[in-house]
Structure 1
Amino acid sequence: MANAGVEIVDEPVLDATEEQFDRLFAINSKGAFFTLQKAAKLLTDGGRLINIGSSSTVSPVPGTGLYSSSKTASRQLVRVLALELGPRNITVNTILPTVIAGAGVFTQVTEDDEFHQVNAGMRPLGGRPGTPEDVADAAEYLAGDLAAWVSGQALLVSGGAVQ
């Protein structure tokens, strides 16, 4: 499973620096590429590869152009790897979590924060942010036999939110 990444949010595209670009693409794109490549080489036939991406690749959000574009590369890589590894019966998928409490830039967000209050209405399932367990459940599904015929897909884990 590839699950490394760094975020820069609230940074308009016009203000992003080359240093920020290089850092995000080195970790989020290059890191995912070589992690998935190495894992694919080590996997036995019939194995599973899972990438953790970002819901920001589904729907654009102002201030996340640099971050979401760095995460889009691995989403496309998953689709290509699914085709290349399919003959070995290896499935390759990506999970696209939305706001996950305690993860990334949301590490310090609590239910009392304005961010949570504003975004609660966007989450039809209980109005709560996702949890690491929600993402783990999706990974368990994709890693298991029930998803043996699912490959090259992006699973949005969002509590019903469209992004």
Structure 2
Amino acid sequence: MSQIILITGGSRGLGRSAALHLADRGHDIILTYRSQKEAAETAVAAIQAKGPKAVALPLDVGQARHFVAFAATVKRVLAQTWQRETFDGLLNNAGIAMHEPFASTTEEQFDAVIDTHLKGPYFLTQRLLPLLADGGRILNVSSGLARFSMPGTSIYGAAKGAVEVLTRYLATELAERQIRVNTIAPGAIATDFSGGRVRDNPEVNAYVSSITALGRPGRADEIGSAMAMLLSDDARWINGERIEASGGMRL
């Protein structure tokens, strides 16, 4: 029986890359998207072209009030598409960027980042837990900015630091069900995240390259493959860990 992985924010960027790598391993995919339905449908088609099944569902992870209804939708999709009651893995990947100095960060900006990067994964995981199979796995997404500091990213880095602490608590509390929980912390990646800041701004790209041991920003494919590994049985004895995938930023 194929394994089913649910990926938030799976229509593009790191989530899409992870979905394709997981499909290469034979895993079926449920992915979510916030507004880019066409991109989500394209991702589903790319997954299905590799053989596995895939379904795209709308979800804004910053709106926790919708999680009960979303969990009910997932339950229905599992029954209709797979004739199953559970899925096997959860990748809490969806996110938003925020670049604002501490002194001018507003309460609205604070709430938007916390709702998306901490409250969202916290309560979405809680709502989906009855549908996650015993022996399953959860992968949360942090950032190199939880380890080192860069001006203008205080709330983003703080939220990601909280995700890393949450991961350790989940790994402890869910161990009774043999569910393992880890965090992956990407460095600066050349995608369209944050308006393509790392990919398209030559000054930012050059700066990232100068502080990275391997001398360049990362690529989505390099994070997606690491995510797929951590969600696979190859990583079955890795639990409660923070794995940084940054090419050696600020060593």
> Could you state the TM-score of these two structures normalised by the residue count of structure 2?
0.60
Which residue number in structure 1 is paired with residue 209 of structure 2? 120
Q: Does 1:133 align with 2:221?
A: yes
Residue 194 of structure 2 aligns to a residue whose secondary structure is helix
1:35: Cα distance to partner?
2.3
Quick check: 2:189–2:198 contact (8 Å CA) kept in 1? no
Distance 1:86 1:97 in 2: 25
Q: In structure 1, which of residues 59, 66, 86 is the aligned counterpart of residue 148 of structure 2?
A: 59
Matched, 1:14 2:103: yes
Task: Give the aligned partner of residue 94 of structure 1.
Answer: 183
- The whole-number CA distance in structure 2 between the counterparts of 1:76 and 1:91 is 14
Q: Residue 96 of structure 2 aligns to which amino acid in structure 1?
A: V
Contact between 2:93 and 2:141, CA under 8 Å: does it hold in 1? yes
Question: 1:50 aligns to what SS in structure 2?
Answer: strand
> Secondary structure at 1:156's aligned position in 2?
strand
| Deviation, structure 1 residue 110 | 3.8
User: Using the alignment, how far apart are the partners of 1:3 and 1:14 within structure 2?
Assistant: 28
For residues 144 and 162 of structure 1, the distance between their equivalents in structure 2, rounded to whole angstroms, comes to 29
For normalisation by structure 1, the TM-score amounts to 0.89
Q: Which has the larger radius of gyration?
A: 2
Alpha carbons 2:188, 2:198 under 8 Å: kept = no
What is the CA distance between 1:108 and its match in structure 2? Answer: 4.9
TM superposition outliers: structure 1 runs of 4+ over 6 Å: none
Question: 1:35 corresponds to which residue?
Answer: 124
Q: Which moved more, 1:107-116 or 1:83-92?
A: 107-116
Number of residue equivalences: 161
Match of 1:146 in 2: 234
Report the CA distance between 1:111 and its aligned residue: 6.8
Secondary structure (helix, strand or coil) at the match of 2:176 reads: helix
State the Cα distance separating 1:67 from its structure 2 match.
Answer: 1.3
Q: CA deviation at 1:5?
A: 1.4
- Greater Cα shift, 130-139 or 106-115: 106-115
CA deviation after TM superposition for structure 1 residue 95, in Å: 0.6
Shift of the 132–38 alpha-carbon distance from structure 1 to 2, 3 Å rule, reads farther
8 Å contact kept, 1:4–1:31: no
Cα offset, 1:103, TM superposition: 4.0
Q: What is the RMSD of the two structures over their aligned residues, measured on CA atoms?
A: 1.8
Please tell me the residue identity of whatever aligns with 1:2: N
State the structure with bigger RCO (CA 8 A, min sep 6), 1 or 2: 1
The structure with the greater share of residues assigned to strand is 2
Structure 2 CA distance for aligned equivalents of residues 17 and 105 of structure 1: 18
Which stretch of the first structure deviates more once superposed, 105-114 or 76-85?
105-114
The answer as to whether partners of 2:189 and 2:199 remain within 8 angstroms in 1 is no
The answer to which of 54-63 and 88-97 deviates more is 54-63
Q: Does 1:83 align with 2:165?
A: no
1:85-112 Cα deviation digits (max 9, x unpaired): 1121111011100111114226254477
